Amino acid sequence: MVSCEGNSLTVAKRGPWRDRWVSWGSVVALFAGVAVGQWLHSNGGSAEGWAAAGDLILIRPLMLVVMPLVLVSVITGVTSIGSPSRLGLLGGAAIVYYTATMIVACTLGAFLVTWVDPGGGVSPEVAKDLLAEGSSALSSNPSLAPRIQSGEAEGLSGAWLNIIRQVVPGNPFAEMANGRPLGIIGFALLIGAALAVACDRIPAARMARDAINGVYEALLVAVQWIIVLLPIGAFCLVVSTVARTGLTEFSGPIAKYMGVVVLGLLTHALIVLPIVARVGGVGRPWQFMYRCRAALGTAFVTSSSSATLPVTLEAGVEAGASRRATNFVCPLGSTVNMDGTALYEAVAVVFLFQFMGIELGMQELVVVVVTATLAAIGAASIPSAGLVTMVLVIGAVNTSLADPSKALPLGAIGLILGVDRILDMLRTSVNVWGDLVGARMLTPLAPDDDASSQSVPAAHAGTDAAAA
């Protein structure tokens, strides 16, 4: 499959079988996983073994390559863009794109949840009972409770300070070991820019750049191998999620709340982002979406933009974004650009207030939109991160309320705990879709020249042909 002649790495053309297996295998895995998971749920079967198998087959192999890939993809992106002014233009455009689309997503979520009012009409007694149940579910959750408490203690300004500290890391190896991509991106931007300058003057620097390009290409080959595991991993992860939550358990306000989140996410993904893409010069946005299906499917089953990043980088280039734009926009976007999470947090917070009988006014809704955007930027790209940073939005709305006795207790988050994983699957796909649209839209600012588009052409040729 791979041949190394002298110094040049040549990746053999992939046959279309791989794409068929990944695409159709994942669809079959999804339906089969739902059926098996529901059967286990109804018969009291355990989800643990399936979760462990999915973790071992898909999530761990992806996590294995993600940190090295963030490092080398950003370095290759920056060195190939070269000029600091082009880099600044691309970086500025990416930040404007990320922020604008997240604000639109939050506003859409806040509008839908206020309009549908899924939490309205619940009697105070029922709300009180359910709140007590939710609080105890939350406090007995060993992985979430401490994260939520520390998020509350940190507050919005503390969370932001933390992000800024991460961007300028003291020790890049520690960031890598702790799986914090922002620090690695900060380090890679610095090294990439320095290498671009050094390459003009020092021959040895060119060797270092070529070596990093080689590592990047080798990592992409590894990603191609890992993607073959997608249908099997997806099956295990879907079985474990459905076995845990079941499909028919939800009714009343929680079912309506789920409906609003799903409606908002689908509207944003299928209507808003394609319109943004079209206005931004991307022809046939739905076709682009179809060609990105491997990344969207991986995000759906892993609920982690970070674990999905290796697939995102490959899918973006296969679907028509330039390698330079993809290598810059997607790693950064996977940690800061979270349209789905922003929309979800806005809907969830307004819903919880409605549930407790508190209708938020225009001023509080603006607080929700602004803080949900900031909280989503600060959310880690791992499962349930949006649930944790939601405390920041609740805290901000509580302090903006004229009547402090109406403040929402954090235990209310427990009400939506049971349905979080299912919604996480969809919002993570929307997060990744937002990154890919950004990469495609910003491609004219960082097009591949002949040399860079030739560097890994064969790795992508097979899928392009199959997807066309």
Closest CB 345 distance from ligand ASP, rounded Å: 8
Identify which of residues 127 and 379 has a Cβ nearer to ligand ASP in the complex: 379
Q: CA angle, 43 as apex, 131 and 132 as ends, to 5°? A: 10
Identify which of residues 78 and 336 has a Cβ nearer to ligand ASP in the complex: 336
Identify which of residues 75 and 299 has a Cβ nearer to ligand ASP in the complex: 299
Q: CA angle, 70 as apex, 64 and 72 as ends, to 5°? A: 105
Identify which of residues 241 and 305 has a Cβ nearer to ligand ASP in the complex: 305
Minimal CA–CA distance to 261: which of 200, 196, 340? 340
Identify which of residues 241 and 303 has a Cβ nearer to ligand ASP in the complex: 303
* Residue 247: C-alpha distances to residues 36, 228, 333, 414 (Å): 12, 28, 32, 19
- Please, which residues bridge with residue 2 across strands? 11
Identify which of residues 91 and 340 has a Cβ nearer to ligand ASP in the complex: 340
10 Å CB burial of residue 55 (0-12, 13-18, 19+) is middle
- Which residues would be at the binding site for ligand ASP (CB under 6 A)? 303-305, 338, 341, 379, 381-386, 424, 427-428, 431
Closest CB 335 distance from ligand ASP, rounded Å: 9
* Residue 120: C-alpha distances to residues 117, 360, 368 (Å): 5, 12, 18
Closest CB 155 distance from ligand ASP, rounded Å: 19
Give DSSP secondary structure letters for 167-221: HS-S-HHHHHHTT-HHHHHHHHHHHHHHHHHHHHH-HHHHHHHHHHHHHHHHHHH
Dihedral class, residue 284 (left if φ above 0, else alpha if ψ from -120 to 50, else beta): left
Phi and psi angles of residue 369, each rounded to the nearest 5 degrees, phi first:
-60, -45
Closest CB 44 distance from ligand ASP, rounded Å: 28
Closest CB 427 distance from ligand ASP, rounded Å: 5
Closest CB 423 distance from ligand ASP, rounded Å: 9
Sole residue written with tokens 């007995």? 140
Identify which of residues 147 and 206 has a Cβ nearer to ligand ASP in the complex: 147
Closest CB 159 distance from ligand ASP, rounded Å: 14
Q: How far apart are the C-alpha atoms of 118 and 258, rounded to whole Å?
A: 9
* Residue 195: C-alpha distances to residues 19, 87, 206 (Å): 36, 14, 8
Identify which of residues 382 and 456 has a Cβ nearer to ligand ASP in the complex: 382
* Interacting residues of 433 by C-beta distance below 8 A, sequence separation 6+: 269, 273, 289, 292, 296, 339
Identify which of residues 87 and 432 has a Cβ nearer to ligand ASP in the complex: 432
Q: How far apart are the C-alpha atoms of 253 and 134, rounded to whole Å?
A: 14
Residue with CB nearest ligand ASP? Answer: 386
Closest CB 376 distance from ligand ASP, rounded Å: 7
Closest CB 171 distance from ligand ASP, rounded Å: 24
Closest CB 378 distance from ligand ASP, rounded Å: 11
> Are the C-beta atoms of residues 293 and 312 closer than 8 Å to each other?
no
Identify which of residues 325 and 430 has a Cβ nearer to ligand ASP in the complex: 430
Closest CB 241 distance from ligand ASP, rounded Å: 13
* Residue 418: C-alpha distances to residues 249, 319, 405, 435 (Å): 10, 35, 27, 28
Cα 208 to chain centroid, rounded: 31
Minimal CA–CA distance to 91: which of 281, 276, 328, 378? 328
Identify which of residues 198 and 262 has a Cβ nearer to ligand ASP in the complex: 262
